[in-house]
Structure 1
Amino acid sequence: MSSLIKDLKTLKLSGVAKTFEIRNEQAIKEKLSYLEFFELLIEDEMSNRKDNSYKKRTAKAKFPSIKTLEEYDFNFQPKLNRQEIYNLATGEYIRKKENIVFVGPPGTGKTHLSISLGIKALQQGYKVLFTSISEMMETLFEAKADNSYHRKLKYYLAPDLLILDELGFKQLSDNIVDLFYEIISKRYETGSVIITSNKSFDDWGSIFHDRILATAILDRIVHHCHLILIKGDSFRMKEQKQKIEKH
């Protein structure tokens, strides 16, 4: 038996190797046919590979933390359309190469929602990458200097879903606005983007310095876009008040 398990692992059938002994016992006790026994082993292998794929894609997604949709407090943001968010969680927007933009004050759960939709996308088999705008821009700018730009550009273009957090927290300097435009233009109608921002569309010109470039960026983002406005109070302020009240 041990040599058989070793051979299964050599053949990279680790899912079968993990469950072979217990499935063998099951087959004997339940008098399963060879075909039924084989079908169980194949199911175990498929399940194991799916689980491993999810774990690998989750690690590559680079989420700062794990935030699920079920954990989001919609009661604290009553003006937010819960049904619309759950419709987006189906991943239909990714299949259609559409975008999502969350706009609202700091602390209202924009990042939480973007991560939770990213997790739902992973569960559906998509590749996802999360990054802050400033981190991505810094990475691309530095890549220009060490000749790794095209490799880094591919890194941000490859995922089915790219989540860009915190647009508007910092102004983008003149020498990197073009880099942001390149990401958006190359992903246009080829891959979905989720953007979180504390600035309304009207204020995006001040983020990019150049209103003409801002218009070009905005045009490509909003062409196939779900705009989610969050006008509620800050979750962080709520938690802080609760801590103060306890003392």
Structure 2
Amino acid sequence: MSDTPQVLLQHHLKKLRLPTFHSEYDKLARQCATENKDHIQYLLRLCELELIERERRMIERRIKAAKFPATKSLDSFDYKVIPSLNKVLTMQLARCEFVDHRQNVIALGPSGTGKTHVALGLGLAACQKGLKVRFTTAAALVHVLIEAVGERRLQRLQKQLTSQDLLIIDELGFVPLSKSGAELLFEIISQRYERGSIIITSNLPFDEWTEIFGSERLTGAILDRLTHHVHILEMNGESFRLRQSRKAQS
């Protein structure tokens, strides 16, 4: 019978979905008793542990839902290698105020200069602030949009994409888009205009985007929406991968 209160407590904590209370209450009680902490201080510590753990789990769920190909932070980015990149602006963007203001970010530069790394770093920062993020390449996004049209679920997919606080579209320009693909991508950009932020990385300067979309009219309409509220990151320099390959060979 002496174990009944403990069994009931564990049962109630599970029902209340307080896993950190469940795992830590006994150990923390002993610790607080040793330190002569009263019941208020004990409960405060227990609540703080629960909140910290809940925040950690929430961030993990956001990162998983974002579908990042890799988890990279801006702390690991070597700004010295890409001197054209505005470090002050990049760190300001990591505060994610641009997402609150429904602004966009476009990173432009040759292949291998770290555009994806920066996009991933900003996406991770957004997840850590509790924002909903989705990462995709331009080619993959167009592919799933075309599939959705064939399966008559385009509106549902569009709703999912527009519900994200931040949509990251990587590698725009690496693969030319079909007419239907370009139009579907335009729809997503239009639906998010002044409603949600987009980060785009591209290896092509703006004056060559007609090569991607195949139409000057469509390209102009896309650029008009993307650049109305935008932060542009210029990332010109030697490829990280090429540099690492040379080091390995030397």
Normalised-by-shorter TM-score class:
over 0.9
**Partner residue in 2 for 1:166:** 171
**Partner residue in 2 for 1:74:** 79
**Letter paired with 1:85:** T
- Measure the CA separation in 2 of the matches of 1:26 and 1:58: 34
- Measure the CA separation in 2 of the matches of 1:18 and 1:191: 39
**Letter paired with 2:233:** I
What is the Cα deviation at residue 10 of structure 1? 2.0
Structure 2 matches for 1:115-154, cutoff 5 A? 115-154=120-159
- Measure the CA separation in 1 of the matches of 2:217 and 2:147: 25
Structure 2 matches for 1:4-19, cutoff 5 A? 4-19=9-24
What secondary structure does 2:79 align onto?
coil
Contact map agreement 2:103 2:229 (CA 8 A) in 1 = yes
What secondary structure does 1:75 align onto?
helix
**Letter paired with 2:225:** R
What secondary structure does 2:130 align onto?
coil
String of CA shifts for 1:108-157, please: whole Å, max 9, x gaps.
00001100111111111111110001111110111111121112112211
Contact map agreement 1:15 1:47 (CA 8 A) in 2 = no
- Measure the CA separation in 1 of the matches of 2:105 and 2:163: 18
**Partner residue in 1 for 2:25:** 20
**Partner residue in 2 for 1:190:** 195
What is the Cα deviation at residue 71 of structure 1? 1.1
Contact map agreement 1:171 1:207 (CA 8 A) in 2 = yes
- Measure the CA separation in 2 of the matches of 1:98 and 1:158: 15
**Partner residue in 2 for 1:243:** 248
Contact map agreement 1:104 1:230 (CA 8 A) in 2 = yes
What secondary structure does 1:166 align onto?
strand
- TM-score, normalised by the number of residues in structure 1: 0.96
Contact map agreement 2:133 2:164 (CA 8 A) in 1 = yes
Contact map agreement 2:86 2:234 (CA 8 A) in 1 = no
Structure 2 matches for 1:41-80, cutoff 5 A? 41-80=46-85
**Letter paired with 2:149:** K
Contact map agreement 1:205 1:211 (CA 8 A) in 2 = yes
2:221 to 206, 216, 219: 216
- Measure the CA separation in 2 of the matches of 1:188 and 1:15: 41
Aligned alpha-carbon RMSD (Å) = 1.2
- Measure the CA separation in 1 of the matches of 2:201 and 2:170: 5
What secondary structure does 1:130 align onto?
strand
**Partner residue in 2 for 1:199:** 204
Q: Calculate percent identity across the aligned residue pairs.
A: 38
What is the count of residue pairs matched by the alignment?
A: 245
- Measure the CA separation in 1 of the matches of 2:181 and 2:83: 38
Q: Which structure 1 segments of 5+ residues have no match?
A: none
What is the Cα deviation at residue 229 of structure 1? 1.1
What is the Cα deviation at residue 51 of structure 1? 1.0
String of CA shifts for 1:175-209, please: whole Å, max 9, x gaps.
12111111101111111100000111111112111
Q: Which structure 2 segments of 5+ residues have no match?
A: 1-5
What secondary structure does 2:80 align onto?
coil
